[in-house]
Amino acid sequence: MRRSRVHQPLNPSLAVVAALAMLLALPLPALSGPQEVDDLRGLLAPDELLRPEAMLGALISIEVDREIEAEALVEEVERLSAWRVRRELALDELAAVYVDMDLLFNTGDSEERGRASQDLEERISDAEGRVKILGDQGRALRLRIEARRHRLGALSKRADQLLAMLPADTDALTGVWDVRLIPTRENGVFTIFQNGTLISGEYVLDGGWHGSLQGTVVGGKIFLERIDAVKGRFADLTGRIDSTGLGMRGTWNERDLTANRATEGSWVASKRQRGTTAP
């Protein structure tokens, strides 16, 4: 079940991230039709907004929007599938009434045809009305689906622009990481900023889980504390960076041992490269 997102008071140290997030909140293509995405280089001109940690904070905001939009798209596609079933039933009903009308005109006397014909005309009118209503509903659903697909593409383009604007990595962990938790099968994104041995960042996981990360990296060994936006200090992750610097893996433990779910397991992460978006 999706949990409602609780807006926590902003820490003053996150003011830059908040300012950037406000800029990124400029309208994406509306559901009424496509439009070009704003050039982020123009939006992010002020030097104080070009800090890597600020851009990484904006990237996690985009990932949250992508998750919401992707879930809405799945729901719209499911509605379209259900609509197709209703449309086929309505067309079958209309075809059956037309068959009845054809048979009527080939049998019976004129008085009988007159009475039955009036009833059939009403049934035809009702069936045609239902088909027309369903046709209008189908067109509206297809337009919404196309608009949501375009919106997802626009979000991906914004993420690509931000990734391209990040400076060359001075610390191995700085960047966007696609993460999978096992055995809970949760997928998500970590945006991490490394400053020497210190790590900070944000995360978003399937089901609406989101919050902040903090920890350390020493000699390739990683310790991360996952701080949930609702539950607070929630889980610890330990692991190692692989030899390429583009992968991490390790184990995780939740602090809430009474949860009705797995409270420990493993995790893997791969660093997202420039010009790529979420899988």
pLDDT, tens only, 86-103: 999 999 999 998 888 888
pTM: 0.51
* pLDDT beyond 60 at 79: yes
pLDDT, tens only, 20-62: 444 344 444 444 443 333 444 444 444 444 566 667 777 777 8
The sign of the CA dihedral 204, 208, 212, 213 is negative
pLDDT, tens only, 104-113: 877 766 666 6
Mean of pLDDT values over 240-269: 85
- Domains by residue range for the chain, with CATH: 1-167 (no CATH), 168-279 (2.40.128.120)
> Considering only CA atoms, which of 230, 235, 236, 224 is closest in space to residue 192?
224
- Residue 159, class by beta-carbon neighbours within 10 Å (0-12 exposed, 13-18 middle, 19+ buried)? buried
Could you tell me the two tokens for 14? 């996150």
CB distance 251 to 242 below 8 Å: no
- Whole-angstrom distance, CA of residue 252 vs CA of residue 42: 40
